[in-house]
């Protein structure tokens, strides 16, 4: 079965935003070799330099380039806004065939203080990416982990992470990556059709954050992985 190996390089598309840059830093902090991708190579380089200089005592393996460079890595993570995810995947589709592609984008709209879940035509952003690049093994994951907490690589993030996919290899690789990060526990949430619920739930989580002035994370009771 296809599993994550330490020598696998990871590319992140749209990784100049809070979510992508936080995940890049966090994965690098646990020894992964990551490439920050952007529509602009220079923006990616700038973000790489910012991360490396923010953590001078850590030996972070971070490269930077255009999204096409990040897409050439063995595992690819999409961290763009929801309405750019499928188009971005499509723009680098030549590199994605046969690879695990993890999509963390949530379809949301903020109206005033309210977060509204949106339903993309195929039900979820991840399903749109899968439809755009059918030869990729798309998994949905990392939707609920707050970027601010993820970015602080010296502090664990205490959260469960739901992963779903129509490809067991993608589920396993995405879960392996999540489980590399101290404090996170990956849970197999079934087929990609469930990405709709996972993505939409992010609106609830963000609403809780507004209401209770916090950054809530998701934890499920009653699941003992030793079973
Ligand atoms: N922020 C969080 O706490 C968090 C947590 C979990 C999941 N997420 C999800 O992760 C995704 C990214 O979140 P974010 O806050 O980092 O988003 P963001 O800052 O709005 O966007 C991330 C990056 O995507 C690229 N991008 C923006 N518009 C684009 C377009 N039209 N086409 C192609 N690329 C575009 C930009 O990079 P370049 O201009 O450099 O190309 C941008 O820096 C969202 O879908 C969000 O729901 C966020």
Which residues make Cβ contacts (< 8 Å) with residue 143, sequence separation at least 6? Answer: 104, 105, 106, 162, 198, 199, 201, 202
Residue 12 and residue 37 in contact, taking contact as beta carbons nearer than 8 Å:
yes
pLDDT digits 0-9 by tens, 78-116: 999 999 999 999 999 999 999 999 999 999 999 998 999
pLDDT at 31: 96
Show me where the domains of the chain are located. Answer: 9-212
pTM reported for the whole predicted model: 0.98
Q: Residues 13, 14, 19, 22: is their CA dihedral positive or negative?
A: positive
H or E stretch at 23: helix 18-29
What's the CA-to-centroid distance between 22 and ligand 1, angstroms? 11
Low pLDDT (below 50) residues in the chain: none
Pairing of strands 62-66, 75-78: unpaired
The separation between CA 105 and the C-alpha centre of its own chain, rounded to angstroms, equals 7
pLDDT at 96: 98
150 phi-psi bin (left φ>0, alpha ψ -120 to 50, beta other): alpha
Distance (Å, whole) CA 35 – CA 12: 6
Pocket lining: 120 vs ligand 1, CB cutoff 6 Å: no
- Nearest C-alpha to atom 6 of ligand 1 is from which residue? 143
Pocket lining: 147 vs ligand 1, CB cutoff 6 Å: yes
What's the CA-to-centroid distance between 14 and ligand 1, angstroms? 6
Distance (Å, whole) CA 191 – CA 6: 26
Strand extents, DSSP E, the chain: 9-13, 33-38, 62-66, 75-78, 100-103, 108-111, 114-117, 137-140, 159-165, 184-188
Residue 188 and residue 163 in contact, taking contact as beta carbons nearer than 8 Å:
yes
What CATH number should be reported for the domain whose range is 9-212?
A: 3.40.50.720
Distance (Å, whole) CA 123 – CA 192: 10
Beta bridge partners of 13: 78
Which residues make Cβ contacts (< 8 Å) with residue 88, sequence separation at least 6? Answer: 13, 14, 67, 78, 80
pLDDT at 1: 64
What's the CA-to-centroid distance between 84 and ligand 1, angstroms? 8
If you search the block for the tokens 């809780």, which residue do you land on?
Answer: 208
Residue 25 and residue 151 in contact, taking contact as beta carbons nearer than 8 Å:
yes
């Amino acid at each position: 079965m296809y599993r994550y190996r330490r020598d696998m390089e990871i590319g992140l598309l749209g990784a100049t935003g809070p979510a992508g840059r936080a995940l890049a830093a966090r994965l690098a902090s646990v020894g992964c070799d990551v490439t920050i991708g952007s529509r602009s190579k220079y923006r990616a380089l700038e973000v790489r330099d910012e991360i490396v200089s923010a953590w001078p005592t850590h030996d972070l393996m971070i490269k930077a380039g255009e999204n096409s460079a990040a897409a050439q890595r063995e595992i690819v993570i999409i961290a763009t806004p929801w309405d750019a995810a499928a188009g971005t995947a499509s723009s680098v589709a030549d590199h994605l065939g046969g690879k695990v592609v993890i999509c963390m984008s949530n379809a949301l709209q903020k109206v005033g203080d309210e977060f509204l879940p949106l339903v993309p035509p195929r039900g979820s952003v991840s399903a749109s990416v899968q439809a755009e690049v059918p030869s990729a093994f798309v998994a949905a994951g990392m939707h609920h982990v707050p970027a601010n907490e993820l970015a602080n690589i010296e502090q664990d993030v205490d959260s469960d992470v739901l992963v779903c996919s129509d490809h067991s290899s993608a589920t396993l690789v995405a879960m392996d990556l999540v489980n590399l990060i101290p404090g996170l526990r990956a849970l197999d949430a079934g087929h990609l059709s469930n990405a709709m619920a996972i993505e939409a739930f992010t609106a609830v989580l963000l609403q809780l954050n507004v209401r209770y002035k916090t950054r809530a994370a998701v934890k499920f009771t009653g699941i003992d992985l030793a079973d």
